[in-house]
Amino acid sequence: MHYRTLGRTGVQVSSLTLGAMNFGRIGRTTQDEATALVDAALEAGINLIDTADAYSGGESETLVGKAIAGRRDDIVLATKAGLPMGDERNHKGSSRRWLVTELERSLRRLGVDHVDLYQIHRWDPATSDEETLSALTDLQRAGKIRYFGSSTFPAYRIVQAQWAAREHHLSRYVTEQPSYSILQRGIETHVLPVAEEYGLGVLVWSPLASGWLSGAIREGREITTSRSGFMPQRFDTAIPANRAKLDAVEQLAKVADEAGLTMIQLALGFVTAHPAVTSALIGPRTLEHLSSQLAAVDTVLTADVLDAIDSIVAPGVDLAPEEKLDAPPALLDPAVRRRR
């Protein structure tokens, strides 16, 4: 396993992170299975585990907490808040009221007294940066979180939050967690340069593009990945963006074959090759999945292979931008971009 410094924190984290989104009902993962995955990941040298309150309605945090019991100090533990937790209107977002309440609930589910990295799951346009950063700074000073970061923030919001922290003399986000894969390269345009400018650690999610880059999805095969039932629209090849992804996958498979690599090695080797990326989140449901992803730890892509990838999906291009969940509100709601 390789280790990199998480932004400017001095904390060393593994180049692969165990993502726990599939722990619980989303991935149909039991406690025994989750514990086995944590055991194997730690044995392989992974020291960063990432979960969120919203994953299976808190079940993921509970499974992670039980799996790490007795070895908390050896793990860099990350979780998130901000997505809706039920139907109550204030059980979401990044207000002080909600973050203080929900962190306590996350700590109880995880069975710990602090988390190392607390991340705002999505930018909340209803809440000011000062409100959120002030709450996070107080939680940090109380010892309940060591650091905090953002997730899936547009580049201009990352910059704005950095300026707000400076202006109001508050602690700042030290990490960003964006979507990044060979098929979704949009963050290369603004997010990654901004992260480098501000010294942020970058933990990328969906490096296998929801399974498109796992090797299981190919032309002429029935799509049977675990995510096809969870997000069927992302795998309907009648949709032009999915057709474009499948065409790219066929070309990428040839590149991988010629380089003597699996598709997983190609995909993970690509995202971890970027100098701004600290770690890539993997989300295995089974030990077999984990083993195939750990095989990419030592993968170093040559310039020829990286050039071939660039010729298939150009730098800065998203084949399915709507899947990245970072679109500004004005692109999603016409009322926001029309004068009343």
Q: What are phi and psi of 204, to 5 degrees?
A: -90, 135
Q: Read off the pLDDT of residues 24-55 as tens digits, 9 standing for 90 and up.
A: 999 999 999 999 999 999 999 999 999 999 99
Q: What element of type H or E holds 79? A: strand 76-81
Neighbouring residues of 26: CB distance < 8 A, sequence distance ≥ 6:
55, 56, 60, 230
| Range(s) of the domain holding residue 71 | 3-337
Rounded (10°) angle between helices 96-110 and 129-141: 40
- Of 55, 147, 173, 180, the active-site residue reads 55
- pLDDT at position 225 over 60: no
- CATH number, domain with residue 285: 3.20.20.100
Closest CA to 60 of 18, 92, 93: 18
Percent of the chain topping pLDDT 90: 86
More confident residue, 303 or 229: 303
Measured in degrees and rounded to the nearest 5, phi and psi for residue 150 equal: -115, 165
Is the pLDDT reported for residue 229 higher than 70?
Answer: no
**Which letter does DSSP use for residue 184 in this model?**
B
pLDDT exceeds 70 at position 158: yes
Q: Residue 228's pLDDT is what?
A: 52
- Asked if residue 13 lies in contact with residue 7, where contact means CB atoms within 8 angstroms, the answer is no
- Return all residues near 131 (Cβ < 8 A) that are at least 6 apart: 94, 95, 96
CA 68 to chain centroid, in Å, comes to 20
Mean pLDDT of the chain: 94
pLDDT band at 101 (very low <50, low <70, confident <90, very high): very high
Joined tokens for residue 86: 């039920």
Q: Which tens digit of pLDDT belongs to each residue from 267-326?
A: 999 999 999 999 999 999 999 999 999 999 999 999 999 999 999 999 999 998 888 777
Tokens 């030290």 correspond to what residue? 174
Fill in the DSSP letter of residue 95: -
CB-side exposure of 6: number of CA atoms within 13 Å? 27
| pLDDT over 70 (residue 224) | no
**320 vs 104: CA distance, rounded Å:** 36
Report pLDDT for 222.
Answer: 73
As a whole number, mean pLDDT of residues 243-258 equals: 96
**Cα–Cα distance, 135 to 47 (Å, whole number):** 27
Residue 283 φ/ψ, nearest 5 degrees: -125, 60
pLDDT tens column, 13-22? 999 999 999 9
Answer yes or no: is pLDDT of 203 > 90.
Answer: yes
Query: Do the beta carbons of residue 62 and residue 68 sit within 8 Å?
Result: no
Cα dihedral across residues 50, 108, 72, 96: positive or negative: positive
- Structural domains counted in the chain: 1
In the chain, where does DSSP find H-type helix?
31-43, 59-68, 96-110, 129-141, 155-167, 191-198, 227-230, 240-259, 263-273, 287-294, 303-312, 329-332
- Which band of pLDDT confidence, cut at 50, 70 and 90, is reported for residue 226? low
Q: Catalytic site residue 55?
A: yes
**pLDDT value at residue 322:** 81
- Quote the pTM value: 0.93
Decide if pLDDT at 212 tops 60: yes
Q: Are 233 and 247 in contact (CB under 8 A)?
A: no
Q: Above 60 in pLDDT, residue 263?
A: yes
